[in-house]
Amino acid sequence: MFDIPLLYYPVFILVYLAYKVVFPPLNFPRNIPTIPFYVNFLPILFGIDQLDVFRLYLAEPLERYGAVKIFFGSRWNILVSKPEYLSQLFKDENTFAKSGNQKKIPYSVLAAYTGDNVISAHGAIWRKYRNAVTNGLQHFDDAPIWENTKLFRKLLSKKIENGNSNRLSMVPLIQRLALDNISNVALGFDFGTLKSDNCPLHQHLLHIKKKIFHPFFLTFPFFDRLPIPSRVKGFKEVESFRRELVRKVQDDLITNFKFEQTTFASSDLIRAYNREELNYKQLCDNMIIILIAGHENPQMALTSMFYFLAKYPEFQELIREEVKGITESKYLLELPILNSFIYEVLRYYPPLNSIINRCTTRACRLGSEIAIPKGVYVGYSNYGSSHNTKNWGEDHMEFKPERWGKEIESIHNNWKYAKNSCKITSFHGGRRVCLGEKLALTEIRITITEMVKHYKWKLPNDWQDRVTPAGPLSPWALELIFEERN
Ligand code: HEM
């Protein structure tokens, strides 16, 4: 045996870490391309956005091979975009088992925030959660959404009046609309952000989100294991926000003397907790995920809707004509231009660009050719499947609502077909299909309807047209210039 001087240990550790980061593990499939590990840092280093990264590094290999090796979240993963592979991923849940942050990075601030919930759980636990929340998310009263859109309009008009400018920063405003919608429709309380500029729960949420979605800690959650003071504080703040939210929901529902008749997703969660089918942590984890998925995804989608309506203003006029006199959601479902426009936006900018939260439970093959070892994280690229020549033709980079069809029946059928054949995976598909799709689409239809009736808007000439640098996908720091219609 020979002694290695202590001095060399840090060097060995660094070399080992670099080796783990720079190259995929040796047992990863060799017949698919490797995306350079540094692509994650390009938005931070060079100010480019996630679609620049996609165009430069992912588009061609994904189009050609349908799957690539990619470094993300402190590990190497496999990212898939080919419909056949996606369909296998979505169907064979026993092999590609859901494994969310609570398993992948249990030591992280992000995992402390989201916990073990209906989106990330697997097997019997997932079924228990899904049973509790399905009814409330599928059957809901859309009246609060109409009401909130009116409050949203009032807020816009007030901002324009007070600021002496009709140029508005849209992200915080849309977030307020999305938060009030999900809290009213699914959680059974009013977040109240549209009525007050300084709602304490909202301020708390904004504060912790900055900590959770820090690009460095998202790429290297491993550092959350270290006693870094800001991260230690982050854990405490996340916990206090979760408790505050659940207390608010419980207080509002319990003081509601008709609690037993309420059908919110949160009422069913509380009932499952009262029957001891869920423990307190599971109750919190699922309440919080309804809040997170229920406001962040529609927020991204709505931001993109506003953007595309500004970029192609002819659709503001066409949709305005279509929605004239309509005040009920069921009639909005029948409008071809409105619905094909929405589907095209969801294809063009899928709010969740890529999702990596499945882990192989055994060595297996993706298709007949890609051999994957046990314990590997496999995810899917929504942008990759909806921007792909094989799936969408040579014009997939063009924004063309008419690609969905002319008649409303064929438009909805084409949307269903694209989902069933995994050519569009913006809402996942199969058994684990998004439970909030109906709610989100209702919210989007109502918001567009009310907005085009009362405003015209356009992009400022000096606004930089780019998308978010990483994570959820939508126009970055969207600003719009509004004009009220008479
Ligand atoms: C435009 C808006 C939305 C988009 C694009 C979207 C997208 C998705 C996607 C891609 C998944 C699968 C995630 C995965 O693979 O792990 C999912 C699952 C889910 N979403 Fe949504 N979502 C949206 C809105 C909502 C809303 C408003 C809710 C309401 C709370 C919601 C609740 C859920 C739930 C509960 C699941 C888990 C389903 C399961 O695994 O059983 N989503 N969503």
**46: which 2 tokens?**
């060079």
**Dist CA 324 CA 346 (whole Å):** 24
**59: which 2 tokens?**
């588009």
Predicted confidence at residue 3, as pLDDT, reads: 62
Strands, E, within 251-319: which ranges?
A: none
Per the model's pLDDT, the better-predicted residue between 410 and 215 turns out to be 410
**Dist CA 351 CA 474 (whole Å):** 6
Residues whose beta carbon lies within 6 Å of some atom of ligand 1:
118-119, 130, 133, 137, 186, 290, 293-294, 297-298, 301, 351-352, 355, 357, 426-428, 432, 434-436, 439-440
Nearest residue CA, atom 35 of ligand 1? 435
Give the 3-state secondary structure of residue 427: coil
Nearest alpha carbon to residue 343 among 297, 404, 427: 404
Nearest residue CA, atom 9 of ligand 1? 427
Predicted confidence at residue 150, as pLDDT, reads: 97
Nearest alpha carbon to residue 139 among 249, 263, 256: 263
Predicted confidence at residue 8, as pLDDT, reads: 72
Q: Give the list of residues 6+ apart from residue 450 with CB closer than 8 angstroms, or none.
A: 146, 149, 150, 152, 153
Nearest residue CA, atom 23 of ligand 1? 297
User: DSSP string spanning 118-131?
Assistant: TTT--HHHHHHHHH
CATH code matching the domain that covers 8-484, chosen among 2.60.40.1760, 3.90.1150.10, 1.10.630.10, 3.30.365.10:
1.10.630.10
What is the distance in A from the centroid of ligand 1 to the CA of 212?
A: 19
Predicted confidence at residue 6, as pLDDT, reads: 67
pLDDT at 18 over 90: no
Instruction: Please state, rounded to an integer, the average pLDDT across all residues of the chain.
Output: 93
pLDDT at 225 over 70: yes
Q: Which residues of 57-85 are buried (b: 16+ CB within 10 A; e: fewer)?
A: bbbebbbebbbbbbbbbbbbbbbbbbbeb
Nearest residue CA, atom 18 of ligand 1? 434
What is the distance in A from the centroid of ligand 1 to the CA of 53?
A: 25
Per the model's pLDDT, the better-predicted residue between 486 and 441 turns out to be 441
Per the model's pLDDT, the better-predicted residue between 198 and 345 turns out to be 345
- pLDDT tens digits along 267-313: 999 999 999 999 999 999 999 999 999 999 999 999 999 999 999 99
Burial class (CB in 10 A: 0-12, 13-18, 19+), 341: buried
DSSP-assigned letter for residue 472: S
Predicted confidence at residue 4, as pLDDT, reads: 63
Q: Give the list of residues 6+ apart from residue 439 with CB closer than 8 angstroms, or none.
A: 137, 140, 182, 185, 186, 294, 298
**Dist CA 287 CA 265 (whole Å):** 9
**Dist CA 210 CA 214 (whole Å):** 6
Q: Return the sign of the alpha-carbon dihedral for residues 216, 221, 226, 227.
A: positive
What is the distance in A from the centroid of ligand 1 to the CA of 27?
A: 32
Give the 3-state secondary structure of residue 461: coil
Compute how many other C-beta atoms are within 10 angstroms of the C-beta atom of residue 223: 15
**66: which 2 tokens?**
């349908």
Compute how many other C-beta atoms are within 10 angstroms of the C-beta atom of residue 188: 22
What is the distance in A from the centroid of ligand 1 to the CA of 485?
A: 35
- What does the pLDDT average to over 217-239? 88
**97: which 2 tokens?**
């088992």
pLDDT at 157 over 80: yes
